[in-house]
Amino acid sequence: MLQKIACIALPGMAPFEFGVICEVFGIDRSDQGGPVFDFHVVAAEPGPIHMRLGFDIVVHDDLAAAADADLVAVPAYYMDTLVAGDAHPRVHPDIIRVVQEAEARGAWVLSVCSGAFVLGEAGLLDGRRSTTHWMHTDRLARRFPRTEVDPDVLFVQDDHVVTGAGTAAGIDAALHIVRKELGAAAANIIARRMVVPPQRDGGQSQFIRTPVIECQSDSFASVTEWMLENLDQALTVDQLARKALMSSRTFARRFRAEMGTTPTAWLNRQRLLRAQQLLEETDLGLEAIASDTGFGAAAVMRHHFLKVLQTTPTAYRRTFGARKAV
Of residues 212 and 38, more confidence is placed in 38
What is the rounded distance in angstroms from the CA atom of residue 201 to the CA atom of residue 192?
17
Cβ contacts of 183 within 8 Å, gap of 6 or more? 320, 321, 322, 323, 324, 325
185 pLDDT tier (thresholds 50, 70, 90): confident
pLDDT of amino acid 108 = 98
The mean per-residue pLDDT over the stretch 164-179 comes to 91
**Comparison of pLDDT for 163 and 272, the residue scoring more:** 163
- Mean pLDDT over residues 78-90, rounded? 55
Inter-residue contact 158 to 129 (CB < 8 Å): yes
Strand partners, 79: none
What fold, for 4-209?
Answer: Rossmann fold (3.40.50)
Question: Is residue 215 scored above 60 in pLDDT?
Answer: no
Residue 281 above 90 pLDDT? Answer: no
Tell which residue, 254, 244, 238, 203, has the closest CA to residue 222: 244
Sign of CA dihedral 144, 147, 148, 154: negative
Would the pLDDT of 86 be above 70? Answer: no
SS (H, E, C) 85-127: CCCCCCCCHHHHHHHHHHHHCCCEEEEEHHHHHHHHHCCCCCC
- β-strand pairing of 148-149 with 129-130: parallel
- 42-56: average pLDDT: 94
Superfamily for the 212-326 domain: Homeodomain-like (1.10.10.60)
The percentage of residues in the chain with a pLDDT greater than 90, rounded to a whole number, is 55
Model confidence at 88: pLDDT above 80: no
Residue ranges in 3-84 assigned as alpha helix (H): 15-25, 79-84
pTM: 0.65
- Look at 93-97, 178-182, 220-224 and tell me which has the smallest mean pLDDT: 220-224
E strand or H helix at 164, and its extent? strand 161-164
Per-residue pLDDT at 64? 98
Over range 136-147, report the average pLDDT.
92
Domain spans in the chain, listed from the N-terminal domain onward: 4-209, 212-326
d(CA 275, CA 81): 43
Pick the more confident residue, 295 or 308: 295
